[in-house]
Amino acid sequence: MMKENLWNNIKQLKKESPLVHSITNYVVMNNTANALLAAGASPIMAHAHSEMEDMMTICQALVVNIGTLDEYWVTAMKKAVHQAQQLEKPWILDPVGAGATPYRDEVLAELLQLNPTIIRGNASEIMALAKHNSTPTKGVDSSAKSNEAVLAAKFLVEKYHCTVCISGATDIILDQDKEIHLFNGHELMSKITGMGCTATALVAAFSAVIKDKVEAVTSAMAYLGVVGELAAKESKGPGSLQMNILDQLYAISEKAFNSTLNLEIKRG
Amino acid sequence: MMKENLWNNIKQLKKESPLVHSITNYVVMNNTANALLAAGASPIMAHAHSEMEDMMTICQALVVNIGTLDEYWVTAMKKAVHQAQQLEKPWILDPVGAGATPYRDEVLAELLQLNPTIIRGNASEIMALAKHNSTPTKGVDSSAKSNEAVLAAKFLVEKYHCTVCISGATDIILDQDKEIHLFNGHELMSKITGMGCTATALVAAFSAVIKDKVEAVTSAMAYLGVVGELAAKESKGPGSLQMNILDQLYAISEKAFNSTLNLEIKRG
Amino acid sequence: MMKENLWNNIKQLKKESPLVHSITNYVVMNNTANALLAAGASPIMAHAHSEMEDMMTICQALVVNIGTLDEYWVTAMKKAVHQAQQLEKPWILDPVGAGATPYRDEVLAELLQLNPTIIRGNASEIMALAKHNSTPTKGVDSSAKSNEAVLAAKFLVEKYHCTVCISGATDIILDQDKEIHLFNGHELMSKITGMGCTATALVAAFSAVIKDKVEAVTSAMAYLGVVGELAAKESKGPGSLQMNILDQLYAISEKAFNSTLNLEIKRG
């Protein structure tokens, strides 16, 4: 992967405008849809059992985010995932609140068996996914740091043949051959609900248009991280930050992107 | 209908503040409620089977938006529609994603049998509603232009005795006797999720206070189109546009409205 | 209670960052989560029957908001409430739309039997809760004024041994011994959906860190009222107000808070 590819990938996303199906949580649906639109992708959100296969047929990628899961929605997730696999389309798992309750962990264990193309979570969630007996997470917040979860991420990569993104102050993206560390973003982003869910949706959008999955994830995380960092500079708090992030996702220039981007290629 | 009526209708909406019951999709509920409030109406959102008839009894108009439909919600929609019909209150159909999946089309066929007072959709959706074998829509986006859907809209008007609004760069509002073309709005509005759903909610609010349905729909679409156009001028992207639209719905002056309004009465 | 305590309580909230479980309505989930984050608390939203007890175990307070209730969600509410009681954690009832339909009133009657720690509603809702045969409310809006509901609130305090907050132009907070009147806020706040729900979520957050419940409620209502009043001064309408409220919840200074605070201790 070359750093120089990232801006081209952002341009390609806007050009191809992939249709992303998100089975996600109620809290973030509006933000997520707006972030996808601002980035140039097209969002669809649906969950009726009767249309999960058909919806997946017309979409290019799938987000499965368990934030406000229940029995009906979990069945919808599985139906959509099966169809995604059948059609060889990428599906991205966002294990919101992994480790918070036994029910979440059971559902996640089942979803992992369906081999997600990519997993994006914070350090606590990635550690909970890899090892069910670890220290319990504090709800949907992450009290752990990204580098503490690298071993857990490597375990998931090995076992489920997927790409993993640990998001946090440093985003770490890795598969068997590659490892990228990304230093963009701003701490005020953690004061907006659903920033992680937005990241996952963007990961799905890029995974629909970029073949190399580490490159797709890196493009998404770099895009959101740079945008968030620039937006934070002109924001007085989380309210204006949320607005400025959407504006920047839509309007960011190549020059602003490349001069702010801060990443390190550790492997590959 | 006279162009001069439109501002009076906006004033009347703010004065009467009708209670609008929206059975709508999860993605847009917050925006829709905020748009109704900013415009001067009162929103209610509910879906429990046990209260659909009672809720409809205290409301003046009903929105049925199938964006995130499922079996439970479809039953709620039918219950509310039956009560609306019983009480001769207007109900507005927003056929989100018509043509995207067979399930949506089945549900829409059933809802059409219940004679919506008004249908508001984009060109692709209106064409899918009128002719199930047309080219499939690209999800919830419209790739077609409003004028391509006029024949489909006329078919719906004829068959279901309703008023139809095709929204897009040009909004076309028609029934058997009248046809209005409206040229307000801004392309950046398509980068905010749920602008169409907001339009439908405003259509419902005006249909509760204005007897002539073409005039009610035109008032709503002109209000949102003018507001969006003015708001876009002071916005840097979709984030600030969303904020500015709510501010303008609340604060727009008669002078700004009338000097921006751009419509053509084709018939009636 | 001392006025001087309030700012310290706000600081304590930010320091302790309690985890608040909200079983709330779809319309306001995003706002509520963002308000909790901006205030310094941590939000969780979940409703699956299989995890209600476990979720309540890791949270410090519970919001039960019936805005978009249905049968499944009501069962989830009861499960969470039972666990909150078992663990002696505060649970806050937000009786959205009390009096609007018989179904709501039945559910509220059942929830009242489970002894909410605190009830927060507008005047119409508090009156509907106390006396089922009163004048019906106009949906979720309040047409009544706070002081008209004081007798109803006193009845609820007496019967259910809870603290009650009637919110409105004047917020009235009372239990058996104390009564506080709070005069902050701005009428533009009523043009944003879910301001009451946000108030309830903040009440829950403070109730997790402040032992005296009248003081906890007063801290929450004063915080939101002062923030809303300051935010309204720099807002052009409800769109910018919503953004500015989140920014101010995050950034308000002690000086700005104390010089704007306007309350009267009537009893206690």
Per-residue pLDDT of chain B (268 residues; tens, 9 = 90+): 688 899 999 999 999 999 999 999 999 999 999 999 999 999 999 999 999 999 999 999 999 999 999 999 999 999 999 999 999 999 999 999 999 999 999 999 999 999 999 999 999 999 999 984 455 555 555 567 889 999 999 999 999 999 999 999 999 999 999 999 999 999 999 999 999 999 999 999 999 999 999 999 999 999 999 999 999 999 999 999 999 999 999 999 999 999 999 999 999 8
* Residue C187 near chain B (CB below 8 Å): no
| Residue contact A38–B191, C-beta within 8 A | yes
CATH no. of C5-267 = 3.40.1190.20
- Residue A28: closest C-alpha in chain B: B27
Q: Identify the weakest region by mean pLDDT among A20-29, A134-143, B174-183, C105-114.
A: A134-143
- In angstroms, the first-to-last Cα distance of chain A is 7
Mean pLDDT value across residues A40-66: 98
Is residue B99 annotated as involved in ligand binding? no
Is residue A197 pLDDT above 50, yes or no? yes
Please tell me which of the candidates A34, A51, A72 has its beta carbon nearest to residue B193: A34
| Helices B195-209 and B213-233, axial angle in degrees (round to 10) | 140
Spans of all domains in chain A:
5-267
The one-letter amino acid at B210: I
**Chain A contact set for C19 (CB, 8 A):** 138-139, 141
* Residue B88 near chain A (CB below 8 Å): no
**Chain B contact set for A55 (CB, 8 A):** 100-101
Contacts A–C by Cβ distance under 8 A: 104
The whole-angstrom separation of Cα A164 and Cα A143 is: 19
The tens digit of pLDDT for each residue in B240-259 reads 999 999 999 999 999 999 99
- Residue C28: closest C-alpha in chain B: B30
**Chain A contact set for B68 (CB, 8 A):** 45-47
The residue to which tokens 């120089």 are assigned = A4
Is residue C167 annotated as involved in ligand binding? yes
Q: Looking at residue A133, what is its pLDDT?
A: 44
Q: Looking at residue B5, what is its pLDDT?
A: 93
Is residue C104 annotated as involved in ligand binding? no
Q: Is C250 helix (H, G, I), strand (E, B) or coil?
A: helix
* Residue A99 near chain C (CB below 8 Å): no
* Residue A142 near chain C (CB below 8 Å): no
Please tell me which of the candidates A19, A49, A247 has its beta carbon nearest to residue B139: A19
pLDDT in tens, chain C (268 residues): 688 899 999 999 999 999 999 999 999 999 999 999 999 999 999 999 999 999 999 999 999 999 999 999 999 999 999 999 999 999 999 999 999 999 999 999 999 999 999 999 999 999 999 984 455 555 555 567 889 999 999 999 999 999 999 999 999 999 999 999 999 999 999 999 999 999 999 999 999 999 999 999 999 999 999 999 999 999 999 999 999 999 999 999 999 999 999 999 999 8
| Residue contact C59–A28, C-beta within 8 A | no
Is residue C267 annotated as involved in ligand binding? no
Give the count of beta carbons closer than 10 Å to the beta carbon of residue B114: 16
Contacts A–B by Cβ distance under 8 A: 102
The residue to which tokens 């692709």 are assigned = B124
List beta partners, residue A120.
A165
| Spatial contact of C191 and B250, defined as CB atoms under 8 Å apart | yes
Q: Cα–chain-centroid distance for residue B218?
A: 10
- Residue B55: closest C-alpha in chain C: C101
- Residue B72: closest C-alpha in chain C: C70
Number of helical H runs and strand E runs in chain A: 11, 9
* Residue C31 near chain B (CB below 8 Å): yes
The whole-angstrom separation of Cα C23 and Cα C49 is: 12
**Chain B contact set for C104 (CB, 8 A):** 51
